[in-house]
């Protein structure tokens, strides 16, 4: 008997894609009649997959649901009104009919979809950075601007501190002190030594939080440590690029046993803000507030313009030059109108 020919990785991907397409076509063909559905009830979106979402009812049971065409931009964390089918059809158990008003929304610009929602009804953003991939202050600043713009409380978490050398620790501490001086909370953590884990659990309790940060900083590993039942797939940082490999592909909401929820989101290496106005970015740098409107010219670009209040404040040591430089880089990205937020 001839030995079966081994499929190439490309062939395996195409087969999986075709199988997923067939399943999607079957589930998308489900059309509920009113008499096939139960009464309306509240639920929470645990995760979304294209035209479907997993909804948790008040008892904690999860149902795969279709989404009515009238329902727009449904995301993880949304509170919804849905109806359960009297029978399951092609793994689909119900339909989402409406979304309740959100108290917060985290979004990012996307080259294909415009402004892309990430998660809803979040109380705090945990901005995860690490020693490997290298500490990145620019992406922290972008997340801080997004947090301030949406009114969501941010916290900066430095992960993998067990990998710190004395020299690198001194360098990163200098950078983190900039954020500490303007009032942001900093948490140091190692999943290997468990330093900071209990403090993080306390911070996450009784609120809905989201881990954000570039790929490879350890968000999924942290999720597994905090919620062993989640068992999120993790990968190593690429030895060639020093960048993270994507592990989480869709945002998902998890519950803590003693209260509080956690949303694990797909990693992104950059976070664009070109959907914001320059003034919105300005207000996202909270220590700049005292200088808003203080420039000599109303159309000041905050670069080399004469009479710029921000440049003067940086020269006088009232704001940190690195924060001003980061602000200027963000403004440049707005002016160039190029996408700086992408999946890799």
Verify that 236 and 136 share a domain, yes or no: yes
Q: Is residue 87 part of a domain?
A: yes
Per residue in 183-219, pLDDT (tens digit) is 999 999 998 899 999 999 999 998 999 988 888 888 8
Do 323 and 236 sit in the same domain of this protein? Answer: no
Q: Do 150 and 166 fall within a single domain? A: yes
- Domain contains 91: yes
pTM recorded for the entire structure: 0.78
Looking at the fold, whether 186 and 215 belong to one and the same domain comes out as yes
User: Are 227 and 249 in a shared domain?
Assistant: yes
pLDDT band, residue 14 (cuts 50/70/90): low
Q: Is 205 annotated as a binding residue?
A: no
Residue 220 in marked binding region: yes
pLDDT-based confidence at residue 338 (cuts at 50, 70, 90): very low
Are residues 89 and 112 both part of a single domain? no
Rounded Cα gap, residues 251 and 230, in angstroms = 13
Say whether 221 counts as a known binding-site residue.
yes
- Residue 292: give the domain boundaries: 278-336
pLDDT of 23 over the 70 cut: no
Last residue of a domain, one of 264, 299, 325: 264
Task: Using only the alpha carbons of the chain, give its radius of gyration.
Answer: 23
* CATH number, domain with residue 95: 2.40.50.140
Contacts of 41 (CB under 8 A, 6+ apart): 57, 58, 81, 82, 83, 84
Does 337 show up as a binding residue in the annotation?
Answer: no
Does residue 6 belong to any structural domain of this protein? no
Determine whether the annotation assigns residue 43 to a binding site. no
* CATH code: domain of residue 137: 3.40.50.300
Which one is predicted more confidently, 93 or 7? 93
Q: 3-class DSSP state for residue 108?
A: strand
pLDDT tens per residue, range 216-233? 888 888 888 898 877 654
275 vs 30: which has the higher pLDDT: 275
Which two three-digit tokens encode residue 334? 């707005």
Q: Is 215 marked as binding a ligand?
A: yes
Judge whether 29 lies within some domain.
Answer: no
The predicted structure's pLDDT at residue 36: 81
Lowest mean pLDDT among 39-53, 72-86, 324-338: 324-338
**Number of structural domains found in the chain:** 3
Please indicate if the annotation marks 207 as binding a ligand.
no
Residue 238 assigned to a binding site: no
User: Has 302 been labeled as part of a binding site?
Assistant: yes
Nearest to 79 by CA among 104, 114, 113: 104
27 is in an annotated binding site: no
123 shares a domain with 200: yes
* Residue 336 among known ligand-binding residues: no
Compute the average pLDDT of residues 302-327.
94
* 60 carries a ligand binding annotation: no
Q: Please check if 234 is assigned to a binding site.
A: no
Mean residue pLDDT of the chain comes to 83
Any binding-site annotation on 5?
A: no
DSSP 150-212: HTPEEEEEEE-GGG--HHHHHHHHHHHHHHHHTT--EEE--TTT-TTHHHHHHHHTTSEEEEE
Q: Do 124 and 174 belong together in one domain?
A: yes
Query: Was 295 annotated as part of a binding site?
Result: yes
Read off the pLDDT of each residue in 102-112 and give the average, rounded to a whole number.
84
């Amino acid at each position: 008997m001839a030995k079966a020919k081994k499929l190439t990785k490309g062939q395996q991907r195409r087969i999986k894609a075709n199988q997923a397409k067939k399943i999607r076509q079957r589930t998308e063909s489900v059309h509920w009649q009113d008499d096939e559905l139960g009464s309306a009830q509240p639920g929470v979106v645990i995760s979304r997959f294209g035209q479907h979402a997993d909804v948790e009812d008040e008892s904690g049971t999860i149902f795969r649901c279709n989404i009515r065409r009238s329902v727009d931009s449904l995301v993880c964390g949304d509170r919804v009104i849905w109806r359960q089918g009297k029978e399951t059809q092609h793994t689909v158990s119900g339909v989402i009919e409406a979304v309740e008003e959100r108290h917060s929304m985290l979004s990012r610009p996307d080259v294909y979809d415009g402004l892309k929602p990430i998660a809803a009804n979040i109380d705090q953003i945990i901005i995860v950075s690490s020693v490997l991939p290298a500490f990145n202050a620019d992406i922290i600043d972008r997340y801080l601007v997004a947090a301030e713009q949406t009114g969501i409380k941010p916290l900066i978490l430095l992960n993998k501190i067990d990998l710190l050398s004395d020299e690198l620790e001194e360098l990163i501490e200098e950078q983190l002190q900039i954020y500490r001086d303007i009032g942001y909370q900093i948490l140091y953590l190692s999943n290997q030594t468990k330093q900071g884990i209990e403090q993080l659990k306390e911070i996450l309790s009784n609120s809905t939080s989201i881990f954000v940060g570039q790929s490879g900083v350890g968000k999924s590993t942290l999720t597994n440590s905090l919620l062993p039942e989640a068992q999120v797939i993790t990968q190593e940082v690429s030895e060639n690029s020093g960048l993270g490999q994507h592990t989480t592909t869709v945002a998902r909401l998890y519950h803590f046993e003693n209260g509080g929820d956690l949303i694990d989101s797909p990693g992104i290496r950059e976070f664009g803000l070109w959907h914001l106005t320059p003034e919105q970015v300005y207000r996202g740098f909270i220590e700049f507030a005292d200088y808003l409107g203080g420039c000599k010219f109303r159309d000041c670009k905050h670069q080399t313009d004469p009479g710029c209040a921000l440049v003067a404040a940086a020269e006088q040591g009232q704001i940190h030059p690195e924060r001003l430089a980061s602000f200027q880089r963000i403004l440049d990205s707005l002016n160039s109108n190029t996408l700086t937020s992408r999946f890799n």
